[in-house]
């Protein structure tokens, strides 16, 4: 099957620091929220102490990235490896590590595409400020960002500020929110969310100031929600699910203010965050250059009326802390028209085409996909191979959706799926694998951490070689 991608289309793969690096406390690195949470599950699954051990295998791993043909590598820096306590002394060893990684990538013809913050807030800032609930955290983030731009900006030109703020804000542990009262949890979330927007804006402006030719933007967890029926109330519920989970975040990044529907929701819940007058100019002045989107699945919703018992805006969580029902807005439903992975994510490449078109028509900014993949319990065969045809099928269908979106007129500049190699899944450890490269370890035995190319590695290598014309 032949597809047409632009000649300068960027093919790559992705990872994040806490999920791949290991070396969690080596060479002066501080503890992060991701470390803290992983240690609580150490008796059930792997934690961040070793992960995929990129910290000690980076050179051979980058050599495999080159063999794969990657043109970009989207990865994150660990804030706590560079500033161990979040807002204090700079750790020279951390700077040195990332300099070596960046230089090695460039030497191998791979463009570094760097995320500043991917779920791993320095834990010292939790102890000092309760993290993002305090606006001091936003200015600590600005300082950290400026250090990164000054140290690496001569070689790194593509920057992502925060990964999936819109998803992170809904998940208790990633924000370090541990309170029993749901209203209080939502109030804390709203204040943290606002300060993250402020920190994002400060970082965007700093990038444009310090990085010559730098491009900077957010990475959002994209949302495409179908109505359960064609009843007008269900159609509205589906739209509100998208708006309250994702679109409000993009509108804040692009317009510098909350959209009206989101302010109404904050007022209904009585959780409007505290904002300072001087923030208006900062938020309005921060102009992003592109949108990065992470896409895994679509959602389905029906209308959930509010009642005296459950007032409008009240949220009720289901099996996990990401999906929730919201009275007066929407109830999450299962889409009977889609199949799902063994971990429950419904597979829908058409949804990717839809969100690419929707975001481009609405925001008119170039886009790049920085996460898209299939997590499965891959098996290493006796002959030392991993036959992951299911992953090939998944990624092939989603690359096809990208090609269709480009034909629709979407300015899509790259595709960097999740993930370059197997890495630590927050809730399934090494049972749930996404990589093109198998890391031979399990949750409680790191073994030799051998790197083994899966069938999908060779398939994706050919896709890159042919610029997506042969899927």
Q: What is the CATH number of the domain that holds 239?
A: 3.20.20.80
Q: What is the pLDDT of residue 336?
A: 92
Burial class from Cβ neighbours inside 10 Å (0-12, 13-18, 19+) for residue 364 reads exposed
Distance (Å, whole) CA 455 – CA 438? 10
**Got the DSSP string for 321-365?**
SS-EEETTTBEEE--TTS-B-TTSPBP-HHHHHHHHHHHHHHH--
Percent of the chain residues past pLDDT 70, beyond the cut: 98
Please tell me whether residue 376 adopts helix, strand or coil conformation: strand
Distance (Å, whole) CA 220 – CA 359? 11
Q: What is the pLDDT of residue 2?
A: 64
**Among 151, 251, 333, 371, which one carries the catalytic annotation?**
371
Instruction: Examine residue 279 and state whether it is found in any structural domain, yes or no.
Output: yes
Distance (Å, whole) CA 440 – CA 447? 7
Lowest mean pLDDT among 180-189, 229-238, 267-276: 180-189
Instruction: Examine residue 322 and state whether it is found in any structural domain, yes or no.
Output: no
What's the distance, Cα to Cα, between the start and end of the chain in Å?
6
> Which uninterrupted H or E stretch holds 104?
helix 92-107
Residues 6+ apart with CB under 8 A from 150: 210
Distance (Å, whole) CA 427 – CA 408? 37
Q: What is the pLDDT of residue 142?
A: 98
User: Active-site residue 371, yes or no?
Assistant: yes
What is the average pLDDT value for the chain, to the nearest integer? Answer: 94
- Check pLDDT > 90 for residue 30: yes
- Which segments of 243-307 does DSSP mark as H helices, in order? 248-255, 260-269, 279-285
Tally of structural domains, the chain? 1
Distance (Å, whole) CA 409 – CA 418? 25
Instruction: Examine residue 309 and state whether it is found in any structural domain, yes or no.
Output: no
Q: What is the pLDDT of residue 1?
A: 52
User: What confidence tens digit (pLDDT) does each residue in 388-425 have?
Assistant: 999 999 999 999 999 999 999 999 999 999 999 999 99
Distance (Å, whole) CA 20 – CA 396? 25
Instruction: Examine residue 312 and state whether it is found in any structural domain, yes or no.
Output: no
Write the DSSP symbol of residue 244: I
- Check pLDDT > 80 for residue 224: yes
Instruction: Examine residue 324 and state whether it is found in any structural domain, yes or no.
Output: no
Percent of the chain residues past pLDDT 90, beyond the cut: 87
Provide the β-strand partners of residue 309. none
Instruction: Examine residue 48 and state whether it is found in any structural domain, yes or no.
Output: yes
- Check pLDDT > 70 for residue 321: no
Instruction: Examine residue 5 and state whether it is found in any structural domain, yes or no.
Output: no
Instruction: Examine residue 385 and state whether it is found in any structural domain, yes or no.
Output: yes
User: Active-site residue 173, yes or no?
Assistant: no
Q: Which of 94, 214, 92, 91 is nearest to 149 (CA)?
A: 214
By residue range, what is the domain housing residue 449? 10-301+335-465
Distance (Å, whole) CA 63 – CA 122? 30
Q: What is the pLDDT of residue 182?
A: 81
Strands of 225-227's sheet in order across = 225-227, 299-302, 331-333
**Among 104, 133, 164, 173, which one carries the catalytic annotation?**
164
Mean pLDDT across 286-309: 95
Q: For residue 464, what pLDDT band results from cuts at 50, 70 and 90?
A: very high
Per the CB < 8 A criterion, the answer to whether 455 and 389 are in contact is yes
Per the CB < 8 A criterion, the answer to whether 196 and 280 are in contact is no
Q: What is the pLDDT of residue 320?
A: 52
Q: For residue 322, what pLDDT band results from cuts at 50, 70 and 90?
A: low
User: What confidence tens digit (pLDDT) does each residue in 294-303 have?
Assistant: 999 999 999 9
For residues 444, 447, 448, 452, the Cα torsion angle rounded to the nearest 10 degrees is -80
Per the CB < 8 A criterion, the answer to whether 304 and 330 are in contact is yes
Q: For residue 259, what pLDDT band results from cuts at 50, 70 and 90?
A: very high
């Amino acid at each position: 099957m032949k597809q047409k991608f632009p000649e300068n289309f960027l093919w790559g793969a992705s990872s994040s620091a806490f999920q791949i690096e290991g070396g969690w406390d080596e060479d002066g690195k501080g503890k992060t929220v991701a470390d803290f949470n992983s240690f609580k599950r150490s008796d059930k699954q792997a934690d961040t102490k070793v992960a995929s051990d990129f910290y000690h295998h980076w050179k051979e791993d980058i050599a495999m990235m080159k063999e794969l043909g990657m043109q970009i590598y989207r990865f994150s820096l660990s804030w706590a490896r560079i500033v161990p306590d979040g807002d204090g002394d700079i750790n020279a060893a951390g700077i040195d590590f990332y300099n070596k990684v960046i230089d090695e990538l460039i030497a191998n013809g791979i463009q570094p595409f760097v995320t500043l913050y991917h779920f791993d807030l320095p834990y010292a800032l939790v102890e000092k400020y309760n993290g993002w609930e305090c606006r001091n955290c936003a200015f600590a983030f600005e300082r950290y960002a400026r250090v990164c731009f000054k140290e690496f900006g001569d070689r790194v030109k593509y920057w992502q500020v925060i990964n999936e703020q819109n998803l992170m804000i809904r998940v208790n542990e990633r924000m370090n929110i541990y309170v029993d009262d749901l209203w209080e949890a939502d109030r804390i979330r709203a204040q943290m969310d606002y300060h993250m927007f402020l920190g994002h804006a400060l970082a965007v402006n700093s990038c444009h100031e310090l990085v010559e030719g730098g491009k900077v933007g957010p990475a959002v967890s994209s949302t495409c929600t179908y109505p359960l029926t064609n009843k007008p109330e269900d159609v509205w519920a589906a739209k509100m699910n998208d708006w309250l989970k994702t679109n409000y975040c993009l509108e804040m990044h692009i317009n510098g203010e909350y959209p009206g529907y989101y302010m109404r929701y904050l007022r209904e819940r009585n959780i409007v965050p505290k904002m300072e007058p001087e923030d208006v100019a900062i938020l309005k002045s921060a102009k992003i250059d592109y949108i990065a989107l992470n896409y895994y699945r679509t959602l389905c919703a029906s209308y959930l009326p509010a009642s005296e018992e459950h007032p409008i805006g009240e949220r009720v969580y289901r099996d996990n802390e990401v999906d929730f029902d919201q009275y007066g807005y929407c109830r999450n439903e299962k889409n009977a028209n889609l199949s799902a992975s063994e971990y429950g994510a419904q597979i829908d490449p058409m949804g990717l085409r839809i969100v690419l078109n929707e975001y481009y028509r609405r925001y008119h900014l170039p886009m790049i996909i920085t996460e898209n993949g299939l997590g499965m319990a891959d098996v290493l065969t006796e002959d030392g191979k991993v036959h992951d045809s299911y992953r090939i099928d998944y990624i092939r269908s989603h690359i096809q959706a990208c090609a269709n979106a480009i034909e629709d007129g979407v300015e899509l500049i790259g595709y960097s799926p999740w993930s370059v190699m197997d890495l630590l899944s927050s809730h399934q450890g090494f049972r749930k694998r996404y990589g093109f490269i198998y890391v031979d370890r399990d949750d409680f035995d790191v073994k030799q951490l051998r790197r083994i190319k899966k069938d999908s590695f060779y398939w994706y290598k050919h896709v890159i070689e042919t610029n997506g014309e042969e899927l």
